[in-house]
Amino acid sequence: MNFVIPALTLGFLGSFHCIGMCGPIALSLPINSTNLFHKISHLLLYNLGRTITYSLLGLVFGIIGQTFLFFGFQQYLSIALGIIILFSIFFSSSFAAKNRFTLSFYNFMMFVKSKLLKLFQKKGWLSVFNIGLLNGLLPCGLVYMGIAGSMATTHYLSGMLFMALFGLATIPVMLSLSFVGNIINLKFRRTVKNAIPIILSVMAVLLILRGLNLGIPYLSPKIILSR
């Protein structure tokens, strides 16, 4: 359970990234803003949907991490995660649309976005809940870091719990955004949005260094495999 604090910290601090990325979705939800109870309950449903999707992603990638651990490939897992995060940062969606290796992922994201557009034309708790579920699937560097953390737990239940805590920790900022979003200026949103790729790049490099097993204290400690 030593991942609880990192999961909560990543979710809470990273949720400020949501102001620039997922904020427009939260501010555009098809809910009745004049009824306070209606608004809060629907916002909680939306965020619950996101958290459920994150938890399922944590379960899946926790299983993958557990498989890597079983075969003794945790070093390669760390390197692969770092490379994937860097790839997601530096390659645009237009590249993904043209590259045959990422075309399936791009098409899936377009499918998710088309479903989201249809849900925004409807009202009701089920529509808002489903928007949250689908929003959890949208490409996001913050979520990629969460997935990396869930894989690093190398256990399916721990991976699921990591992402559940991650999702829950994003809720306070997301709820606040829905009420005070109009007073957060565009400059601040852009600053947060521009800072996230830098932070993710540093984390990705650290993951790669850790996997290289260079014997550098703290950065890339020597891993002694038990026999």
Question: pLDDT tens string for the chain (227 positions)?
Answer: 678 988 898 888 777 766 666 777 887 888 877 788 888 999 999 999 999 999 999 999 999 989 988 777 877 878 887 887 787 777 655 555 566 656 777 788 889 989 999 999 888 899 999 999 999 998 777 888 888 889 888 899 999 999 999 999 999 888 887 777 655 556 766 776 677 778 778 878 887 887 787 777 766 666 554 44
Does residue 217 sit within a domain?
no
| pLDDT at site 189 | 64
**List of E strands, the chain:** none
Does residue 106 sit within a domain?
yes
The angle that helices 74-90 and 186-212 make with each other, rounded to 10 degrees, is 150
Phi and psi at 184, nearest 5°, equal -90, 110
- Count, residues in the chain: 227
Quickly tell me which residue has 């550098």 as its tokens: 216
| pLDDT at site 118 | 92
Domain tally for the chain?
1
| pLDDT at site 203 | 78
Contact 38, 197 (CB under 8 A): no
| pLDDT at site 219 | 64
Quickly tell me which residue has 């998710």 as its tokens: 112
| pLDDT at site 227 | 42
**pTM score, whole prediction:** 0.79
**Which residues span the domain enclosing 108?**
4-212
Does residue 85 sit within a domain?
yes
| pLDDT at site 130 | 95
Measured CA to CA, the distance from residue 153 to residue 33 in angstroms comes to 40
Residue type (1 letter), 45: L
In eight-state DSSP terms, residue 221 is P
Measured CA to CA, the distance from residue 9 to residue 4 in angstroms comes to 9
Structure-block tokens of residue 146: 């969460």
The contacts of residue 184 (CB under 8 Å, 6+ apart) are 19, 23, 177
Does residue 222 sit within a domain?
no
| pLDDT at site 45 | 94
| pLDDT at site 185 | 59
Does residue 220 sit within a domain?
no
| pLDDT at site 56 | 97
Q: To which H or E segment does residue 7 belong?
A: helix 4-18
Does residue 225 sit within a domain?
no
Measured CA to CA, the distance from residue 66 to residue 208 in angstroms comes to 19
Measured CA to CA, the distance from residue 79 to residue 8 in angstroms comes to 24
